[in-house]
Amino acid sequence: MMNFHILTLFPEMVLQGLNTSIIGRAVDKGYISIEAVNIRDYTLDKHGKVDDYTYGGGAGMLMQAQPVYDACMAVQDRIMAGNGASKARVIYVTPQGKTFHQELAQELAREEELIFLCGHYEGIDERVLEEVVTDEISIGDYVLTGGELPAMVMIDAIARLVPGVLHNTDSAVTESFYDGLLEYPQYSRPEIWHDKRVPPVLLCGDHAKVDAWRLEQSVLRTKERRPDLYEAYMDRMSRETCRGRK
Ligand code: 4HQ
């Protein structure tokens, strides 16, 4: 069981996005939980304000420290009341963080609780980030309007690694990036479509032959499309071969 907590000004956006399909089913079955906490609920401002102008001037508004801090502390307190001790990691979603990747998803999937802090406007007052954030993570080098989509991307990638979430227990390891290779091409009925035949090896019934073909396709594809991944794969293979000879 893994519990995700999302601190956001748009709780309905993340709940809508994550309560569908596989992730929605995982919530229903109790493998994961997803809680969206509205940062606005924690402002002490009587008009519900959570943002202000930046010192030093410049364009745009900044989320203020107080509501973010109080929302985060409220979640940490509830987590600690639940598990009796440890604080959860707090992930601030920002282009300035280290880039999210499959290995990081695997590491985070081993946590019991994760808090995602989603900024809006021009971001969040630096002082509260210094106090509450344990990890800064980006989903890639482009600029979005808020941290909600990146948080949803990461939660999806992490949640599917939690035991029980995927039907097929193999899928989490068989797919792209397991072994650092891209996936092989796949085919379903009909056998001929737009004059294109399914590769005959897939119809031969010889599982060893099928597996060998798929690995070959994965390697060819990776070499062609992701030379960086291919190089890393070849390096890994040659190291393993060395060890095998010892
Ligand atoms: N943001 N990967 C939130 C991003 C982003 C990204 C821009 C984060 C706006 C307020 N986050 N601020 N790319 O573009 O994580």
- Is residue 73 within 8 Å of residue 131, measured between CB atoms? no
Residue 229: closest CA among 216, 238, 218, 240: 218
Q: Which atom of ligand 1 is nearest to the CA of 137?
A: 15
Write down the pLDDT at residue 167: 82
Residue 13 Cα, ligand 1 centroid: separation in angstroms?
16
The set of protein residues with a Cβ atom below 6 angstroms from ligand 1 is: 93-95, 119-120, 123, 138-140, 142-144, 146-147, 150
Residue type (1 letter), 105: A
The pLDDT value given to residue 173? 53
Quick one: pLDDT at residue 174?
Answer: 46
Query: Max CA-CA distance within the chain?
Result: 72
State how far the Cα of 192 lies from the Cα of 178, in Å rounded to an integer.
Answer: 30
Question: pTM for this one?
Answer: 0.93
Per-residue pLDDT tens digits of the chain, which is 246 residues long: 999 999 999 999 999 999 888 999 999 999 999 999 999 999 999 999 999 999 999 989 999 999 999 999 999 999 999 888 789 999 999 999 999 999 999 999 999 999 999 999 899 999 999 999 999 999 999 999 999 999 999 999 999 999 999 987 556 554 556 689 999 999 999 999 999 999 999 999 999 999 999 999 999 999 999 999 999 999 999 998 887 544
Residue 110's pLDDT is 97
DSSP 202: G
